[in-house]
Amino acid sequence: MNTLERHRKLSAIWASERGLKGWFSTVNHTDLGRMFLVTAFFFFLVGGILAMLIRAQLATPHSAFAGPDIYNQIFTMHGTIMMFLFAIPTFEGLAVYLLPKLLGTRDLAFPRLTAYGYWCYVFGGTMLLVSMLFGIAPDGGWFMYPPLTGAIHSPGINTDFWLIGITFVEISAIAAAVEITVSILKFRAPGMSLDKMPIFAWYALVTALMILTGFPPLILGSVLLELERAFGLPFFQADLGGDSLLWQHLFWLFGHPEVYIIFLPAAGIISTILPVMCRTSLLGYGWIVAATLGLAFLSFGLWVHHMFTTGIPHMGLAFFSAASTLVAVPTSVQIFAWIGTIWKGRPELHLPMLHILGFFLTFVIGGLTGVMVAVVPFDWQAHDTAFITAHLHYVLFGGFVFPVFAGIYYWLPHFTGRKRFFRLGEVAFALIFIGFHITFLAMHWVGLLGQRRRISTYQPEDGWTMINLISSIGGFILAIGIAIVLVEIILHAMTANRGKRNPWKAGTLEWAMVTPPPAYNFASLPHVTSREPLADDPGLPARLARGDGYLADPPTEGSRRETLTVDISTGRPDYHVAYPGNSRLPIILAAVTGLFFLSLLLKTYWVTPLAVTGVAILGWLWVWSRGHKKDMPPQPIGRGIKLANSSTVDRSPGWWGSAFLLTADATFFGSLLFGFAFLWTVAPGWPPPALFEPSALEFATGLAGMGISAISIRRAIGANRVGDKPGAWLVMALAGTGLVAVICITLMLRAPAPPGHAYGATLLVLGGYGLFHAALATMMILFLMARVRGKFAMTACRAEFSVVKLWVDYAAVTGVLILMAAHLPGALG
């Protein structure tokens, strides 16, 4: 088979459908990555226009441009869009597009999940846009502090749009994070051990793990606040045993890691691009990996530094002040490693390098002001002033927007296969750089002069007029710069100015393909022996295209999309993977998920169970279609190696995906228990008037159910493995999860007066959580029973059994904790 034939065959297998309908059924990471990036850039422009409105409003005192009601919506939506609809999706888009190419493979771990995440993002984002068009957008500030956002003080639908829309969008973040984690750990080219991974993959891995542990607290907070607004469960009302500070803890437990979730991918871009711009290799790869991990962990110990003025005792503040200063150290390791990299090489001032230099100045200033506000007494003055607004823009614009622009200009030739024709980018950079610093340097100053953030107007006597005017002028210069970037990208995509391959002479694998990239990425997968395979072997792209690597021969029959996985640490080939093809299931599932959220938003609760049923049915079909009626023998991957197929192993991609999804789930559950303990110790109005009546019978029945389900699923797996019928054991497991469900229902029914006190409300949520997981486990066991009855080849293709075991175990373990949380306080006194 020659190169062209191979290209045609692989293209036929991997390509999305032609024309417009291909957009709705594609599961290809290259297409979806581009779609993510374009959509995120659209939201960046929307958020930018809102920013211009803010600056127009504040340019003069007594501004009559917008009244407070509209102005509050504008700044709330500016923050919300930039954080949730621009920054995070940009990371997702870039990672989705780049990772398989950098890792030397053909797609991400779960192609349909990528598509599902994208459509959740689009639908959720649309909900928020619609609210803005109708003038009923959220208006409580992007961190949505109750009681202001509670039903008493914000009775309108505005706040619900935020709580429900953002939770919907976060599904896409969680989906992408699971996807990215499993892909980086398992879906790499053979030979790529951990130390040979391109540095961007390390950053993306750490970021994805942070999303899995950082987003759940916010999702929990949103769920609780929406429950309070819709059903009167008083989690945040001080007079009914709730506490508004609980929201602040949950929000910032998410909100601070969020800053690093935004910064780390950008740092990954710099670590990738900077050495290429300096014609050298990255200084201190291992140090940077360790610094990134350290940064990720420390960022979870900073959340209270957003709460220095809430009256927490000084020792509590001091812990977080100390951790907040310490977090500057791993950041500084990275900054100096980059400067050392410039010294090591011969820097060339290409356009991406200009943006990197812009990053250095801006981000270092942002970091230094960050250390200042980490010092508690200074924060008591600076908190909630324009100084903070300025600081966070230095961090986020410096630490994210400049690096992303560097990345866009660096990978633009890869996205399109073209080269820039008009040199508008340099002008744009100058305007952005100058405009940004004028806008936000001025804001530090006016903040110290006492200007609070979020005010809609001020008096001439305040003495801020001139500074605000200067700041607004800077803002408009910045906006013109960004408009020029947009024009240049459009011109770039329209002019057919073919570029050459690998224009930057980079060493990473994404350049070992023709550009724009083919749907299958690599005609055959490389064997990786170093961090920069292309630098070692410039002939690699041609050899891969000729079929000189793994999986070079497309399947002779059918149109199976194939790749392989590797062992996590060593990079030895592990098993063979066959992907699903194009499908409309993701967009349909996202639409039905959207229906669920919409029914909650519009309070048409009779639709909610229908939507949940719809999601369950589609989820069932999603997995059902992956079954095998025949045994899957080991598959050849070339070079004389045969690998087991992923459906026949215990630790399949589905198992890994479940494990990481459960990590997020466990964080959610942990946050809920934290909330329970927090209310109990800190909130006014505790202990509650009546404790839950403990019942030895219910407690024992619940434990028995959990034990039976966990043991039976193991017996079922054992029976299946040796070829016996697992049916009887599955029925037993079903009985076990059924018992757990019943006990959770009784817990919910017996929770004392949920609308009357946060105690009962929390028990209701704990019971609901247990019920949901018991129901999920029940459905999975039923699924296995259906597989067995349908005479699928389950003995050989046993992967689904281990996945179900994981979920059954999780339901059992959390069930025990829920029972203890409910029954023990009453039993102990």
Partner 1 sequence: MKDLLRILIAPLIWFVAFSSIYGLHGLICGHGLQAIQIGSLSLPRPLLVAAYLLAIGVQMVVLGALYSAQFRSRSGFVRFVSRATGWTGLVATIWSLLPAATTSYCV
Partner 2 sequence: MSLTFLTLFTLGGCQGELSTLSPAGPAARDIATLWWGMLVGALLILSFVMLLILMAFRRPAKTADEAQQVRVWIVNLGLIFPVSILLALLVYGLVIGERLLPRSSAEVITVEAEASRWSWTFSYPDRPGLQTQDVLHIPAGRPVDIEITSTDVIHSFWVPRVAGKMDAVPGHVNVLRIEADRPGRYAGRSAEFSGSGYASFGFTLIAHDPTAWESFLAGETG
Interacting residues with partner 1 (CB under 8 A):
193-195, 286-287, 289-290, 293-294, 296-298, 300-301, 304, 313-316, 318-319, 321-323, 326, 330, 568-570, 677-678, 681-682
Q: Which two tokens stand for residue 641?
A: 């190696």
3-state helix, strand, coil in the chain (%, to 5): 70, 5, 30
Q: How far is the CB of 713 from partner 1 (least distance, A)?
A: 22
The item of partner 2, partner 1, none sharing an interface with residue 383, based on CB under 5 to 8 Å by kind, is partner 2
The item of partner 1, partner 2, none sharing an interface with residue 421, based on CB under 5 to 8 Å by kind, is none
Residues 6+ apart with CB under 8 A from 413: 419, 499, 503, 515
Q: How far is the CB of 766 from partner 2 (least distance, A)?
A: 23
Q: How far is the CB of 598 from partner 1 (least distance, A)?
A: 37
The item of partner 2, partner 1, none sharing an interface with residue 298, based on CB under 5 to 8 Å by kind, is partner 1
Instruction: With CA atoms as reference, report the closest residue to 566 among 637, 639, 660, 628.
Output: 637
Q: How far is the CB of 80 from partner 2 (least distance, A)?
A: 14
Q: How far is the CB of 92 from partner 1 (least distance, A)?
A: 23
Ranges of H-type helices in 187-284? 199-231, 244-277
Which of residues 284 and 707 has its CB atom nearest to partner 1 in the complex? 284
- Contact (Cβ atoms closer than 8 angstroms) between residue 296 and residue 264: yes
- Contact (Cβ atoms closer than 8 angstroms) between residue 402 and residue 262: no
Q: Which two tokens stand for residue 529?
A: 């022996």
Q: How far is the CB of 55 from partner 1 (least distance, A)?
A: 38
C-alpha separations of 217 from 19, 246, 394, 745 in Å: 41, 11, 26, 24
The item of partner 2, partner 1, none sharing an interface with residue 701, based on CB under 5 to 8 Å by kind, is none
Which of residues 194 and 361 has its CB atom nearest to partner 1 in the complex? 194
Q: How far is the CB of 635 from partner 2 (least distance, A)?
A: 42
The item of partner 1, partner 2, none sharing an interface with residue 360, based on CB under 5 to 8 Å by kind, is partner 2
Residue 569: CB atoms within 10 Å: 10
Measured CA angle at 105 (ends 101, 111), to 5 deg: 90
The item of partner 2, partner 1, none sharing an interface with residue 772, based on CB under 5 to 8 Å by kind, is none
Q: How far is the CB of 651 from partner 1 (least distance, A)?
A: 9
Which of residues 335 and 545 has its CB atom nearest to partner 2 in the complex? 335
The item of partner 1, partner 2, none sharing an interface with residue 316, based on CB under 5 to 8 Å by kind, is partner 1
Q: Which two tokens stand for residue 791?
A: 């005479």
Q: How far is the CB of 371 from partner 2 (least distance, A)?
A: 7
Q: How far is the CB of 293 from partner 1 (least distance, A)?
A: 5
Which of residues 332 and 625 has its CB atom nearest to partner 1 in the complex? 332
Which of residues 346 and 789 has its CB atom nearest to partner 2 in the complex? 346
The item of partner 2, partner 1, none sharing an interface with residue 452, based on CB under 5 to 8 Å by kind, is partner 2
Sign of CA dihedral 93, 97, 100, 104: negative
CA dihedral 755, 230, 251, 597 (to 10 degrees): 140
Measured CA angle at 109 (ends 107, 115), to 5 deg: 75
Which of residues 156 and 538 has its CB atom nearest to partner 2 in the complex? 156
Which of residues 408 and 662 has its CB atom nearest to partner 1 in the complex? 662
Which of residues 187 and 783 has its CB atom nearest to partner 1 in the complex? 187
Strands 561-566 and 573-579: antiparallel
Q: How far is the CB of 568 from partner 1 (least distance, A)?
A: 6
The item of partner 1, partner 2, none sharing an interface with residue 642, based on CB under 5 to 8 Å by kind, is none
Q: How far is the CB of 148 from partner 2 (least distance, A)?
A: 4
The item of partner 1, partner 2, none sharing an interface with residue 631, based on CB under 5 to 8 Å by kind, is none
What is the DSSP track for 273-332? HHHHHTTS--TTHHHHHHHHHHHHHHGGG-GGGG-TTS---HHHHHHHHHHHHHTHHHHH
Q: Which two tokens stand for residue 275?
A: 């050495």
Which of residues 77 and 96 has its CB atom nearest to partner 2 in the complex? 77
Which of residues 335 and 717 has its CB atom nearest to partner 2 in the complex? 335
The item of partner 2, partner 1, none sharing an interface with residue 570, based on CB under 5 to 8 Å by kind, is partner 1
Residues 6+ apart with CB under 8 A from 36: 89, 90, 92, 93, 96, 97, 118, 121
- Contact (Cβ atoms closer than 8 angstroms) between residue 497 and residue 419: yes
Instruction: With CA atoms as reference, report the closest residue to 442 among 423, 462, 469, 460.
Output: 469
Which of residues 187 and 440 has its CB atom nearest to partner 2 in the complex? 440
The item of partner 1, partner 2, none sharing an interface with residue 145, based on CB under 5 to 8 Å by kind, is partner 2
Which of residues 430 and 820 has its CB atom nearest to partner 1 in the complex? 820
Measured CA angle at 723 (ends 717, 727), to 5 deg: 55
- Contact (Cβ atoms closer than 8 angstroms) between residue 518 and residue 512: no
Helix (H, G, I), strand (E, B) or coil at 561: strand
